Structure 1
Amino acid sequence: NFLLSLDLHFTDGDYSADDLNTLQLISSRTLKLHFSLHRGLHHHVNVMFDYFHLSVVSVTVHASLVALH
């Protein structure tokens, strides 16, 4: 199992990608992803952060194990 954390941030002004501290964290979600050695990891889910902000994001994750050393 893997955990993927998704954060929703907000700002009411201009911001730079160099200074992410100006963004305010308003909601967070954690997804539990199941990995299979034979099938890999393939998930598609719509994540709703909360009803107050009405923010939904569509998340698709694909992964596979290609080698063990």
Structure 2
Amino acid sequence: MGRTLEQLIADEKPEVVSKAQAMATDILLNIHLAELREKAQKTQVEMAQALGIKQPTIAVMEKSGPRPEAFHT
């Protein structure tokens, strides 16, 4: 039988676990940003203007998915 997530985490280096948790949080926040923007019926440009940042920053923030390079030290 396979190992549980808890077993895998327990065997991993603390810094790897910490990075994975941070990445998971970032991904969830980015997904929520895109959902909120869409529910507000705002474009990325409008959202960026409201936040005082540039549109490409919104695009990067909304882009979700794992970033394997974050695991390399």
Which category of TM-score, normalised to the shorter sequence, fits these structures? Answer: under 0.3
Q: Taking structure 1 as the reference length, what is the TM-score of the superposition? A: 0.22
Return the structure number with greater strand share.
1
Q: Which has the higher contact order (CA 8 A, sep 6+)?
A: 2
